Structure formats: C-alpha cells, structure tokens
A and B are shown apart, each in its own frame.
Chain A
C-alpha cells in the first residue's frame, strides 16, 4: 500500500501505563505530522517534523508526550503515564515537502484509557 500506515489501529490501556503509537509515512515524504481528534472536537495539532529542520513541538499538551522520527521516515509518538483525557484518535499525516499543510492522513490509532 502507498498510504500512511499507523499501528496499532486500536489500543486500550489502563490509566498510568505508557503507550507507543507508530506511523509509517508515504515513502519519500519529507514532512510528518501528528494530530489528535477527541469526540466532538476539532483536530488538535501535536507535533510537526519538517525535514531537516527542528520539529515544531508546540502542540504537545504536556511533558508526558514525546515523539521522534528516526532516519527521516518512521515516527513514534509516546505517551507516558496515560490519563483518561488522553483518550482520542491519534492521526498521523505526511506530505511530500516540508513547509506545507498535512495532505495524506493515516487511518489513525484509537486510544482508550480505562
């Protein structure tokens, strides 16, 4: 498949546990974005990896959230000590070039914190 791939598609975990969400962008895409969508809310920006430039981390809601992008390809979003308010669909997107808006979204990871 040529699209953005996210795993797992669903994750249920207990409050206080750590979770890792993975994103495989479209091959060759320079820019990678993480957003989340809570029920009844708009998409909320989390982090933007823009090629070789420093990532824009301004949307990460707390220091429990971190993300990395290894080798300019795969990205992992880590949430430590999860809280119930972290429950949301976490969406990853990629674009061919840095400096633009998210174009191709993955199917998302639905995270539920019990």
Chain B
C-alpha cells in the first residue's frame, strides 16, 4: 500500500512564528512532491512543488525534501491567521503512474493564533 502520512493536528502556532508541517511517504519510487492548502469548505490550491533533495523557497514558504529519509516538510515563516487551513502533502505515484495520479495525505490542520 503506497501511502503518504501526515500528522492530523491541529498544529497551533502564534502569529509571527514559524509553522513546520511534516509528511512521510512509503515508496522510494515517488519522484515529485506537492503541498496544497485547503481552507475549510473550499477546494485545494497548489502552493509548492519540489522534485530534488534540499530546500525550495517561495516567499514565506519553504519546502524541504529528503529522499533518503522519505520525508517532505513545509515551513511557513511569519505565520499569519490567514494561513490557518489544512495543508495536504501529495506524492507522485511511482513506477509508471501518470503525473496526474497523486497520492495524498489526509492533511494537517494549522491554526495560527493572533
């Protein structure tokens, strides 16, 4: 069973702090990784993608990938109440799966307190 695991949370951080969201995946064949943000009652929106080991920064967001340890993380710097949402981690399906066929975790709920 190919899985993506996330802590369901809720993860609560004060405004201005760094929020750290983690994700592990079970199959070393996964090559591409994505973070989606989903506000309550809304659809997911893609916020970050990462394909190589190391860090990738985009504004206040940094995605980190460690293929040896099979984990992906998302750091949100200077967290704002508007960042409160569920964050979904997704991995490409390995070994011949199409690029549109992603394995999603159940998400981590983040709450940023003013």
Contacts and interface: CB of A to CB of B under 8 A. Distances in A.
Contacts, number: 63
Given A101-B90, A102-B102, A91 B34 contact: no
Interface residues of A, number: 25
Interface residues of B, number: 24
A42 interface: yes
A107 B43 contact: yes
A36 to B, nearest CB: 11
B114 interface: no
A93 B10 CA distance: 27
Nearest to A40: B106
Which of A41, A59, A91 has most B Cβ within 10 Å?
Answer: A59
A50 B98 contact: yes
A79 B45 CA distance: 26
Contacts of A107: 42-43
B34 A101 contact: yes
Contacts of B107: 42
A93 B45 CA distance: 10
Nearest to B49: A101
B102 A45 contact: yes
12 contacts: A42-B105, A42-B106, A45-B100, A45-B101, A45-B103, A48-B98, A50-B98, A50-B100, A58-B101, A91-B44, A101-B102, A108-B43
Given A100-B99, A102-B100, 12 more contacts: A31-B100, A35-B104, A42-B4, A43-B90, A45-B102, A56-B98, A91-B43, A101-B32, A101-B46, A101-B99, A101-B102, A107-B43
